[in-house]
C-alpha cells in the first residue's frame, strides 16, 4: 500500500513525486516509456537544443557587421541530432537520480486506474498497486486531424518525427501556426529550408498580441505564410488548401509537419471506466486539481487547463499540498491561478507574454491604456543585435487603477525576461510602482521600464 501513485513521469508527474517524497510519503511513479515525458524527450528540450544550434549557425553566418566572419561555414545535422540526444539523456538521468534521492519507486509500463472500494488502484501489466491517493499526469499526444492523404503518408510527420530527420528538408510545409509550428518553421528556415506555414486562423500564435504577430512573421527566415486558409487534402508532399475567398492553392514540400496542437491523453489509462469526468479538453478538475472522484487528482496537459510544462509544475505543487492534507486529515487552501502564467516561443527571434493582450482585455470589457517601446532603446540590445534587429515590448494596464494587466515581448531574450513581467502582474503592481523600480543597466529588460514610462499620465 502506497501513500500516492503517480501516473505519468513528465513534468507534472515527476515534480509531484519528488515533492511527495521530500515530505516523507511512500510514492510509486508509473511511466510507460521515459522519465521526463514529452517535454524532456520529444518536446521542449529537444527543440530548444536544435534551435540553439540554428542560432549559433545563423549568428556566425550574419556576423560580419560585428567583426566576425566564418568562411566555409556549414552545419552538420547529424552532429546537431547527436548533441540533442546527449542533452536529453543527461537530463533524463538527472530525473532518475532525483527519484532515487527522494525514495520514489519507479515502474515502467502503462498504468490503468482501477477504483474498487475504498482503495485507489493502478494496474501495471498484471500487477495491481494500491494507494490512498492517485495523481494522474498522463500528458498529451499530437492532434492529427482527419485530412485526406495525411494518414500513412511518409512525408507527413508530427513534431516527434521531425525531431529525428537525418537532414534539413529543402522544402518544409507546416500545417499550423501555433507555438510548435512556428518554432519548427524558425529552426529550419534559419538552416536554409524554404518554409510554408498554412494556418486556419487569421494570425499566428493565438496568445500573441496582434501588434507583435506581423513583426514575428516578417522576422522569420525563408518563410511564407498562408493565413485564414483551411487544408483540404495532401497528395504526396503537396498540401492543398482553400483561401478566405474560396480559392484553392497549394504548397509543395519534401516534408510536411502536422502541428495543429496537442490533445489530452485520456484513453489509455482508464479515465472513463474509473468514473472520472472527461470533457473534450481533458479530465475535469477544480482549481485545487481535484477530479470528481475523491482521492484522485489530475495535473498538466491531461486536464487541458494550461498545456505548458511550467503550468504542470505549479499544478503539481498545488495537488501535492492537497494530497498531503487529504492523507493527514487536514485541508489545503492552495489553488491554481491562471492570470499570470507566462508563455514563450523560442523561435528566432523569440516571443513571450504574460497576462492579457489588448484584444483579450477588450473582449472582457476592460478599458486599458497601452504603450510600447522598441528593444533598440536598450544599449545592450543594440550592441549585441544591431539597430535593425526586430524587438518590441508592449505593456497593457487597467485604465481605471493603472494596474499592470499584461506584457508582450518580441525579440532576443524574451523568454528569460518574461518571468519578471509575470511577477508584476501576479502581485498587481501599478504603473507608478514599476516606475520606482531599479532595473540593471545595460540590460534588455530595461525596455519594460521604458514602455511603462511611455504610458501617458
**Bridge partners for 457 per DSSP:** none
CA nearest to 182, candidates 220, 238, 211: 220
Q: What is the DSSP string of 372-431?
A: EEEGGGSHHHHHHH-SSS--EEEEEEETTT-BEEEEEEESTTHHHHHHHHHHHHHTT-BH
Are 10 and 300 in contact by the 8 Å Cβ rule? The answer is yes
Cell numbers of 455, please? Answer: 504610458
Annotated active-site residue 441? The verdict is yes
Cell numbers of 43, please? Answer: 518536446
CA nearest to 43, candidates 162, 154, 130: 162
CA nearest to 107, candidates 36, 5, 11, 39: 5
Three-class SS state of 439: coil
CA distances from 394 to 84, 94, 210, 220, 391 (A): 34, 38, 11, 20, 10
Marked catalytic residue, from 22, 129, 310, 441: 441
- Residues designated catalytic: 441
Amino acid at each position: 500500500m502506497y501513500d500516492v501513485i503517480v501516473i505519468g513521469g513528465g513534468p507534472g508527474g515527476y515534480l509531484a513525486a519528488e515533492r511527495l517524497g521530500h515530505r516523507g510519503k511512500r510514492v510509486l511513479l508509473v511511466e510507460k516509456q521515459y522519465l521526463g515525458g514529452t517535454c524532456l524527450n520529444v518536446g521542449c528540450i529537444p527543440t530548444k537544443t536544435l534551435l540553439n544550434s540554428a542560432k549559433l549557425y545563423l549568428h556566425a553566418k550574419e556576423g560580419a557587421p560585428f567583426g566576425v566572419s566564418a568562411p566555409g561555414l556549414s552545419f552538420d545535422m547529424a552532429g546537431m541530432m547527436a548533441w540533442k540526444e546527449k542533452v536529453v539523456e543527461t537530463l533524463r538521468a538527472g530525473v532518475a537520480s532525483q527519484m532515487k534521492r527522494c525514495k520514489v519507486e519507479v515502474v515502467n509500463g502503462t498504468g490503468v486506474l482501477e477504483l474498487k472500494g475504498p482503495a485507489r488502484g493502478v494496474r501495471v501489466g498484471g500487477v495491481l498497486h494500491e494507494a490512498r491517493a492517485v495523481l494522474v499526469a498522463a500528458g498529451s499526444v499530437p492532434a492529427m486531424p482527419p485530412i485526406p492523404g495525411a494518414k500513412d503518408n511518409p512525408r507527413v510527420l508530427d513534431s516527434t518525427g521531425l525531431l529525428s530527420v537525418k537532414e534539413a528538408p529543402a522544402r518544409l510545409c507546416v500545417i499550423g501556426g501555433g507555438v510548435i509550428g512556428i518554432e519548427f518553421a524558425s529552426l529550419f528556415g534559419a538552416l536554409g529550408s524554404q518554409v510554408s506555414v498554412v494556418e486556419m486562423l487569421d494570425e499566428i500564435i493565438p496568445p500573441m498580441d496582434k501588434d507583435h504577430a506581423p513583426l514575428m512573421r516578417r522576422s522569420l527566415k525563408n518563410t511564407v505564410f498562408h493565413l485564414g486558409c483551411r487544408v483540404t487534402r495532401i497528395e504526396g508532399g503537396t498540401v492543398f488548401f482553400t483561401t478566405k475567398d474560396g480559392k484553392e492553392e497549394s504548397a509543395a514540400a519534401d516534408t510536411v509537419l502536422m502541428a495543429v496542437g496537442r490533445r489530452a491523453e485520456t484513453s489509455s489509462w482508464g479515465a472513463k471506466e474509473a468514473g472520472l469526468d472527461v470533457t473534450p479538453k481533458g479530465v475535469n478538475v477544480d482549481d485545487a486539481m481535484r477530479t470528481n472522484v475523491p482521492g484522485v487528482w489530475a495535473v498538466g496537459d491531461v486536464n487541458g487547463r494550461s498545456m505548458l510544462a511550467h503550468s504542470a509544475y505549479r499544478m503539481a505543487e498545488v495537488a501535492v499540498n492537497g494530497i498531503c492534507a487529504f492523507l493527514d486529515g487536514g485541508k489545503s487552501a492552495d489553488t491554481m491561478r491562471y492570470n499570470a502564467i507566462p508563455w514563450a516561443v523560442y523561435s528566432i527571434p523569440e516571443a513571450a507574454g504574460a497576462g492579457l493582450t489588448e484584444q483579450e482585455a477588450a473582449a472582457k470589457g476592460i478599458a486599458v491604456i497601452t504603450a510600447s517601446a522598441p528593444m533598440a532603446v536598450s544599449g545592450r540590445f543594440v550592441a549585441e543585435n544591431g539597430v535593425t534587429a526586430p524587438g518590441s515590448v508592449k505593456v497593457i494596464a487597467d485604465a481605471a487603477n493603472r494596474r499592470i494587466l499584461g506584457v508582450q515581448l518580441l525579440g532576443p531574450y524574451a523568454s528569460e525576461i518574461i518571468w519578471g513581467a509575470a511577477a508584476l502582474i501576479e502581485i498587481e503592481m501599478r504603473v507608478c510602482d514599476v516606475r520606482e523600480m531599479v532595473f540593471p543597466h545595460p540590460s534588455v529588460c530595461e525596455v519594460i521600464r521604458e514602455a511603462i514610462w511611455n504610458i501617458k499620465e
